[in-house]
Chains A and B, each alone.
Chain A
């Protein structure tokens, strides 16, 4: 693990402050991703997935959020220490993000075409006309006629807005794409088209992808690797086969419970009894201990380390890790 990966996150911690409380959203997350690979980042709501993605792009809210520690290496550069101006050249160009909520991600006072063209114009030395043409091409690529370039977001349906958001993110052929539930607002046929499009991009430009999703079907379909996130830590990671066929962490087992194997039909994550620990007061031991059917006294007092299970399969559990 000494060689630097294309994207490598080391021990990242992010905290939010609101009402004088500290919310521990990300608590020592580590991830690795190579060019052309797709990593599925799964976990319950509030697990810190969006926060991780925003931290990579350094677009967390200035005042509320603080990166408490860790490093993010992208193609040999450490992003967290980069000057704002350098970072700005990476955003939307080499790394871009598809946002979770298409209803609020678009500026309501600007035509959609302009919003796509913006990134193209910022990062390429081309004329306004060329940028406009390319933005029109992007619209068509996501299945929206280019005649709608001059329409405003409120004139689009939710699914179409999502496609505009996707077009915006793909406009500069990013090397790393952070897709935050990119298909949640889409119907099944469009969903398939969008996934197809993203796969095409992966092949054509060797784009690496972090796919945040609740849809295990999508994970099975497009992801090479999977990382399971719980209360801001990665509790298990490995190739998709390793995770689907041999889930080790009790949380993963719970999540993937109803999904028989990788050939299974589309399934949402299965709900697990109980709630995630309060991010303002995390327990001293394993964060999952409160809901875990296998929890022992040790689990409640000792914070488990990541254990290597063979291959690329890692698991953060003192009881289950290792025995399969």
Chain B
């Protein structure tokens, strides 16, 4: 994104066309809508305007309108994005703007998909387990730098755009064997939490299917929170798994080492 000034929204009004995936079950197709748009509007505004003007039944999810809740994920002109953060003045409005639901999840209606699978996967990951409080007041002391290390992962807004683009899910449909980048980010947040004592490496290898990831980095490219999913979460997790299960020296060392410490 360029620096300030030249990205300031202009105020002119113009007619634009939106080609929106509409319908449910077998009865689905693109439907075209025309609406007036002004500077600074985002795709979600246009969808809302279409609801109010012509199609009250048009289904989409949204909450915050500020890129913070991760509800409004869709594919805009083929790119997975948040509708509320996609400004119309960054799109070519001489062409129809194509708005489709995410493809890697079962379709419900219009722009809405069934993302419940993500919630089930998360539930299977072992939760946070802190070490015993070690400060005199019954809490913990932590360094800001230790906290900072995991904050990147905790910024995740669960938009599932990364899940949507990952070819292991999108093309190979490994939903039963592969947790997907969102859950690697989640696992990384837990594993690198300064207080956590749980061991998730076996789960990561066997249940989360970390091995399926071949580091294409597509997930990182679409993350609206700019989380460096591949380099900062997935690769370090892969290294830990290798150390734990495949490195003979570590194995030997492990025999003399107490359980994982924070």
- On whether the two chains bind one another, the answer is no
B: residues with CB less than 8 A from A are: none
